[in-house]
Structure 1
Amino acid sequence: MIIIFLIVSAVSAFIALKLPPVYESTARLLMESPQIPDALAAPTVDTAALEQLQVIEQRLMTRSNLLDIARKFNVFPAMATMTPDDIVSAMRDTTTIAKQAGREQATLLTITFDASDAQTAANVVNEYVTRILTDNTASRTSQAQDTLEFFQQEVERLSADLSTQSAKVLDFQNRNSDALPGTLNYRLTEQSNLQERLASVARQISGLKDQKQRLIEIYRATGQLDNSRAVVQSPESVQLAQLQVDLDQALAVYAPTNPKVTLLQTRIAKLQAKVGIDAARDPAPVPDTPPGTGIGVQTAPADGISSPTLDSSPMSMLDIQTTEIDSQITQLTEESNDTTKQLAALKDSIDRSSGVAVQLEALNRDYANIQAQYDSATDRLSKASTGERIAVLSKGQRIGVLDAATVPDVPARPHRQKIIAMGTALGLALGLGLVALLELLNTSVRRPIDLEHRLNITPIGTIPYSRTPGEMMRRRLAILFAFLVIAAGLPARAWVIDTYYMPIDLILAKVSTKLGL
């Protein structure tokens, strides 16, 4: 039992002392909240904290990163004989990344690395942290700059589209300026005025023809002219009288501020001024020619009514009047033709107004859509510019170092005390088990009951085994010899180790260090 206990305990102590130390270095990172509230300036990069940590982990544990870090710090002693796949696998096995995130909880990232050297473990973790911070800053800045550049290009594109569409609208309005929907009411009013004017001119022409016919008939019947009709009104006077009648009719229907009434008043004022100038220039009426001066009939005028001609060289009053009437008829006919052409042009523009309105509405709708997109892009560009400044100045959500990695003083593994304690307990258990097993397997007779079971007899009495004085002396000498050997051997071994291997105090210091004492 004692031998087994000592052997197992010694083996466990040997294993505990010979296992290579494993140093563990840890760094803790914190996902910090934005320094500028989102309500004041929304960041360009809006990614959930846990998602960011997952992306960071995947980027950190890439093959190129792990190989670069392992070769930079010569993490493994046997790297010269290891393949790249073995190095990457070993780096991933010795790296532990733990994420902590939750509702109303801080978002933490814990990075741990195990190495056989304490300085190497700290160097690797610090390199991890440096790369995480650098990559996170570069990633956020790059995303913000890409977003800003995108919206700058979008604003430039929409600005060009807006200018193009504006030019299309302007060109269309210039080409259809006579049929724009905005002037439709004015053109309808003008059409009504021209129609009334055309009817008025027709009435004036008819009246002049009747007047001429009556003059000729009176002259043929009496040989004289009616003195009351000796003065022939000018076209402007006739038109002025007709406009006065039209104005009186319009005022009976419309208000004084109506555009139609205003237009008639303006035309009347102009004609009154013109008639006044003509009257000042030629105030005297033409005297009537007395009968018997040899008045004949004038040949066919424009209206088809023959006018009498003068037999003498001076032009007679009838000739003057009929000539004046023919001149007025010609002037009014030209005015009627001009009015008819204007009505035709107005009718054409009014007929085209509906189609022009539809096309113009489509162009304006496209312009409004582009304008809305441009306004939206401009607003987003402003936000992207603010977000880019936030990212460059690191005022948004970022990763901060909560606890930096330090060089560990003692190895994290193996737990030598636990190994020795477990080995000692195992040795004791094995020793006790062996004793129990020997007891179970021992079939010698040691009790009266054993005699009954073995010989099927009932003994009258039992006498215990008694050693002879010689046996007792030999047993005592053996125990004394073993004690002397142990007592003399231990100092001798200690002297040999101290002299030829290493001083005992250094050995004890190393053992204490390995055991963590």
Structure 2
Amino acid sequence: MIRLAILDEILRAFLRHVTLLVFVVFVGVIASLVFALSLPRTYETMAVIQIEQPDIETASSTATANGQILQQLQIIEQRVMARENLQGIIDEFDLFDDLPSMTPNKKITALREAASVSQISDPALAWRPDVIPTALSITVALGNPDLAAAVANELVDNVVDQNRARREMRARETMAFFEGEEERIGAAIREYESQIADFRQKNSASLGTGITAQREELRTLRDAELVVSREILELNSGQRANSTVFANRVSRLEEQRNLLRARIDQVEVVIAAAPELERQLTGFERELRQLTDQYQAITRGRAEAEMRLMLQETERSESFFILERAVAPDEPVSPNRKKIALAGCILAMMVGVGLVYLMELRNPVIRTEAQLERVLGLRAVAVIPNVQVKRERLLSRMIWVTGVFVAVLIAMAIVVVISSS
């Protein structure tokens, strides 16, 4: 009984302040509906670019393809989201022109927040840092669905164009580099070959077969010197050593021996210079071998660059293809107007109930027999009923009709918001 009495008192309290309650709830619901409807809608759309691996693998792509593709993707993403590219998109589609207070920097920042480029990889290989993504997704969220789709497709075209242009530029730059290096090292090789040929020609006597001939000549000259020295010794030790004929003979033999010794000295100088000349020749040949190795490496690189350029021209290398273009979304992703309107209605009701409670606290009057008995512990001897006049009954009915009318309006407004969301 006590609980029923308390509920009855609460109900009577709300009835006493029904005008305030209806007014607060009505204003709160209308304000929440207006606020929910005034929030700008955001439409999100997405486009997908498929990444296809090269049909023909080059020598270097076997070892470093993953790293090259990942680096290329990062560079493309950075170029697509660069200030100059975004400014061009803003100017092309007149983005954010309805917000004249936005500066160019704020527009670029807003577009960067509205657009994003993300990689799509196999979830089973997500733990690998070098896994190659299979696709790129480009997401754009704007207030206009058609504009969001147009911007997303423009970014897709930019990614594809950036990829194609970058691969062509890299292939041609690599080709030009290897061609220049091949010409430079080829010229250096020809110069070294000419220097080695001149060096061999100038020092042919001390190099290779020439030094062997010099040693043979030195041995022959020393044998001849020994023979001449013996003849001179024999003539000087003979009985006719003082005769003019023998003196002339000895003089000619000594001249011959002097010539042999001079030639021997020359040959010895040539033989003595042979080690230093061999060392210099070895240095020249070592430099030539290094240049030759570099030339061979550059020739292989040039052949690979030619292969890449040919694959690029025939579109047989890794390529980006538009798998799915962005379409204008039918429904916005935010804000959720239903939840906002419902939360506003609940808040308005809570505020109305709170105001009713405050009004009751300001006027703590005992109005019923049950309240008197519960609060003071006294039983009422007699209860004088409250007799309403015709005017009061009419006012009470008007209040109830107004409350019902307001409730119907609130219900209709909620239905409109739900249907429009």
Q: TM-score normalised to the size of structure 2?
A: 0.75
Distance verdict in 2 for CA 1:58–1:179, change over 3 Å: same
Q: Is the 8 A contact 1:21 1:413 kept in 2?
A: yes
Distance in 2 (CA, whole Å) between partners of 1:43 and 1:78 is 52
Taking the TM superposition and a 5 Å limit, the aligned residue runs for 1:342-357 are 342-357=263-278
Give, as a single letter, the amino acid of the residue that structure 1 aligns with 2:31.
V
Deviation (angstroms), 1:139: 1.7
- 2:206 pairs, out of 179, 204, 218, with 179
DSSP-derived class of the 1:304 partner: helix
Distance in 1 (CA, whole Å) between partners of 2:416 and 2:57 is 56
DSSP-derived class of the 2:247 partner: coil
Distance in 2 (CA, whole Å) between partners of 1:460 and 1:116 is 68
Unaligned runs of 5+ in 2: 1-20
DSSP-derived class of the 1:78 partner: coil
Q: Deviations over 1:474-500 (max 9, x none)?
A: 555445556777999999x9xxxxxxx
Deviation (angstroms), 1:98: 4.1
Q: Deviations over 1:344-371 (max 9, x none)?
A: 3322211221222222222222222322
Give, as a single letter, the amino acid of the residue that structure 1 aligns with 2:329.
P
Q: After the TM superposition, which of the residue ranges 387-396 and 156-165 deviates more from structure 2?
A: 387-396
Q: Deviations over 1:152-187 (max 9, x none)?
A: 111111111111111111111111111115543443
Distance verdict in 2 for CA 1:365–1:142, change over 3 Å: same
Q: Deviations over 1:48-95 (max 9, x none)?
A: 555444433332233322222112112234266754234323323433
- 2:158 pairs, out of 119, 125, 131, with 131
Residue 430 of structure 1: aligned partner: 351
DSSP-derived class of the 1:410 partner: coil
Distance verdict in 2 for CA 1:211–1:348, change over 3 Å: same
Equivalent residues, number: 391
- 2:143 pairs, out of 87, 101, 116, with 116
Distance verdict in 2 for CA 1:464–1:124, change over 3 Å: farther
Q: Is the 8 A contact 2:373 2:380 kept in 1?
A: no
Q: TM-score normalised to the size of structure 1?
A: 0.63
Q: Is the 8 A contact 1:155 1:377 kept in 2?
A: yes
Q: Is the 8 A contact 2:25 2:345 kept in 1?
A: yes
Residue 310 of structure 1: aligned partner: none
- Please say if 1:194 is aligned against 2:221: yes
CA RMSD between the two structures: 4.2
- Please say if 1:514 is aligned against 2:412: no
- Please say if 1:415 is aligned against 2:336: yes
DSSP-derived class of the 2:45 partner: strand
Residue 384 of structure 1: aligned partner: 305
Distance in 2 (CA, whole Å) between partners of 1:359 and 1:186 is 21
DSSP-derived class of the 1:467 partner: coil
DSSP-derived class of the 1:131 partner: helix
Deviation (angstroms), 1:146: 1.3
Q: Is the 8 A contact 1:448 1:459 kept in 2?
A: no
Q: Is the 8 A contact 1:112 1:125 kept in 2?
A: yes
Give, as a single letter, the amino acid of the residue that structure 1 aligns with 2:247.
G
Distance verdict in 2 for CA 1:487–1:304, change over 3 Å: closer
DSSP-derived class of the 1:127 partner: helix
Residue 178 of structure 2: aligned partner: 151
- Please say if 1:58 is aligned against 2:78: yes
Taking the TM superposition and a 5 Å limit, the aligned residue runs for 1:209-358 are 300-301=244-245, 303-304=246-247, 339-358=260-279
Residue 170 of structure 1: aligned partner: 197
Distance in 2 (CA, whole Å) between partners of 1:380 and 1:462 is 115
Distance verdict in 2 for CA 1:439–1:115, change over 3 Å: same
Max radius of gyration: which structure? 1
Taking the TM superposition and a 5 Å limit, the aligned residue runs for 1:355-504 are 355-446=276-367, 459-461=378-380, 463-464=382-383, 466-468=385-387, 470-471=388-389, 474=391, 476-481=393-398
Deviation (angstroms), 1:438: 3.7
DSSP-derived class of the 2:139 partner: strand
Residue 5 of structure 1: aligned partner: 25
DSSP-derived class of the 2:331 partner: coil
Q: Deviations over 1:425-455 (max 9, x none)?
A: 222322333344444444111467975899x
Deviation (angstroms), 1:47: 4.5
Q: Is the 8 A contact 1:145 1:388 kept in 2?
A: yes
Distance in 2 (CA, whole Å) between partners of 1:437 and 1:508 is 28
Distance verdict in 2 for CA 1:429–1:485, change over 3 Å: closer
Taking the TM superposition and a 5 Å limit, the aligned residue runs for 1:12-27 are 12-27=32-47
Distance in 2 (CA, whole Å) between partners of 1:370 and 1:106 is 37
Unaligned runs of 5+ in 1: 215-298, 306-325, 494-503
- Give identity over the alignment, percent: 26
Q: Deviations over 1:236-280 (max 9, x none)?
A: xxxxxxxxxxxxxxxxxxxxxxxxxxxxxxxxxxxxxxxxxxxxx
